[in-house]
Structure 1
Amino acid sequence: MVAFKRKPVMGSGGHTNPLVWLAAIICTIFAIAVIVTGIMMFIGYIMIHPRVPTISVTNAHLDLLRNDYAGLLQTQLSIVVTAYNGNAKAHAKFSKMTFSLSFQGQGIAVLVADSFDVPKNSSNVLRYVVQSSSIPLTPDQMEKVGESWKRNEIGFDFKGAGRTRWKVGPFGSVKYSCHLNCYLKFRPLNGSYIPSKCSSKSK
């Protein structure tokens, strides 16, 4: 087997071609820039001691709950979602916020929000009023609604997701995805919200 060895490109007089030196210098500068940027981002991250921004359901109310013998359900809910930025040294940006509300597996509404900023160590409140059209219920669902009236407790599934981002130092930013998966419970006799922990988890 014949082995071939590639010799470096040589210029006149047996010296390395200047283009090779130039390419080596550019690669070295690029590598140093990447390392410095990484170090600066790490230092910025340590200095800020960032807390992951969160979204939570902080209040709600069951404005209307009406069902008839034909198996149709009408409802209206007011839901307050709070976006909180616990970072004392960095603004946070929330984007692509989408929430879904359902009852017994049947969708009621999809809620969205435009991108918005939350200042350092502050919060922003999103207020939604969700009114459903008549929802056809199965006999099993009708029975569960009847039981809910008797127990004076009814629940709705509330799920959502969004993205958060905040700057770390002058060169970079940290990004997370927030995911919300809650079961909102109410007293149908007066519409009051039964408080429960409903905060996002980040990935």
Structure 2
Amino acid sequence: MQTPLPPPPPQSSSSSCILPSPLNKQTRMSPFRAMVLSKQSRNHLDKLTPKTPLYMIRDKPILTQPQKTKPIVWFAAILCMIFTLLIIFFGVAILIVFLAVQPKTPVFDTPGASLTAIYFNSPQYIGNDMTFLANFSNPNRKLRVRFQSLYFELFFAERLIAAQAIQPFSQGPGEVRLVPVHLLPTLVYAPPNLAMELQKQGQRNRVEYRMKGTFKVRVSLGSLHYSYRLLGDCQMEMTSPPNGVLIAHTCKTTK
């Protein structure tokens, strides 16, 4: 008689081992990864079942084709590049011309003047009859200049008492030109104290005036040209009429 085999020893709960399901391991994700999943990946995970193979659970990369640049963008970029190159080219050309020519500002001066009369028509109105020489010098050796919109104003104690405009003219390189300007006698209103001051200076044989000239100067070098405003300012001291002459003056020319 054969002896029956003993039953196998019972397995204790401590020795049992439960392998984790690949599905459970794969589907457990950190909160950060859950936030960055795309909508397509979330839809893919929703369709999975516990029997889904492991290779189907892995996230599939989402590839997107790069967008093509629109023709209008290329056109705008080309225009900007051409415009930038033109600015650089003209900037370098102007710098080279400026260094080669070295333009200088024309000079205005008043070397001579005559005062033939001072008028007093009641204490409120004064006037004078004056002629002066306007001296224009072009110190440039390669540039021609043209004076336009020439206008002169005569002041006594900062009060305008006479004004006169003259015709435009041109000057070649290094040229000097004298233009006589006759300020027509006119009566202008002045406070009584100003008329008394003019009378006192005439009696002292020393009359002080201020002459201002404004000009538009056009500079030309071949086909290139540019314009700017010029201001001449002269302080003049003259003897009394009828044979008043210029005895002292200071002039400056500024842009």
Q: TM-score range by the shorter chain?
A: 0.7 to 0.9
- Provide the C-alpha distance between the structure 2 equivalents of 1:149 and 1:109, rounded to a whole number of angstroms: 17
- TM-score, normalised via structure 2 length: 0.62
- Provide the C-alpha distance between the structure 1 equivalents of 2:137 and 2:200, rounded to a whole number of angstroms: 37
Match of residue 87, structure 2, among 26, 34, 56: 34
- Provide the C-alpha distance between the structure 1 equivalents of 2:95 and 2:86, rounded to a whole number of angstroms: 14
Match of residue 157, structure 1, among 204, 210, 220: 210
Matched-pair contact (CA < 8 Å) for 1:180–1:198:
yes
- Provide the C-alpha distance between the structure 2 equivalents of 1:51 and 1:116, rounded to a whole number of angstroms: 18
Superposed CA deviations along residues 11-51 of structure 1, whole A, max 9, x for unmatched, are xxxxx455544443333222212111111111111111211
Query: Percent same amino acid among aligned pairs?
Result: 22
Superposed CA deviations along residues 117-138 of structure 1, whole A, max 9, x for unmatched, are 2211113333211122345654
Q: Which residue of 2 aligns with 1:125?
A: 178
Q: Which residue of 1 aligns with 2:219?
A: 166
Higher relative contact order (CA 8 A, sep 6+): 1
Q: Which amino acid letter does the alignment assign opposite residue 126 of structure 1?
A: V
Q: 1:20 to 1:105 in 2, by over 3 A?
A: closer
Q: 1:61 to 1:22 in 2, by over 3 A?
A: same
Q: Which amino acid letter does the alignment assign opposite residue 181 of structure 1?
A: D
| Unmatched runs of 5 consecutive residues or more in structure 2 | 1-65
- Provide the C-alpha distance between the structure 1 equivalents of 2:79 and 2:158, rounded to a whole number of angstroms: 59
Q: Which amino acid letter does the alignment assign opposite residue 37 of structure 1?
A: F
* 1:88 maps onto 2:141 in alignment: yes
SS in 1 for 2:110: strand
- Provide the C-alpha distance between the structure 1 equivalents of 2:176 and 2:67, rounded to a whole number of angstroms: 61
- Provide the C-alpha distance between the structure 2 equivalents of 1:9 and 1:99, rounded to a whole number of angstroms: 68
Superposed CA deviations along residues 40-86 of structure 1, whole A, max 9, x for unmatched, are 11111111121112222232111223447x43544210022122211
Higher strand share: 1
SS in 2 for 1:32: helix
SS in 2 for 1:141: helix
Superposed CA deviations along residues 139-197 of structure 1, whole A, max 9, x for unmatched, are 42343234213321002222232232324686x54544222233321101531112312
Match of residue 47, structure 1, among 96, 100, 113: 100
The count of residues paired between Structure 1 and Structure 2 equals: 189
- Provide the C-alpha distance between the structure 1 equivalents of 2:179 and 2:79, rounded to a whole number of angstroms: 49
- Provide the C-alpha distance between the structure 2 equivalents of 1:27 and 1:110, rounded to a whole number of angstroms: 51
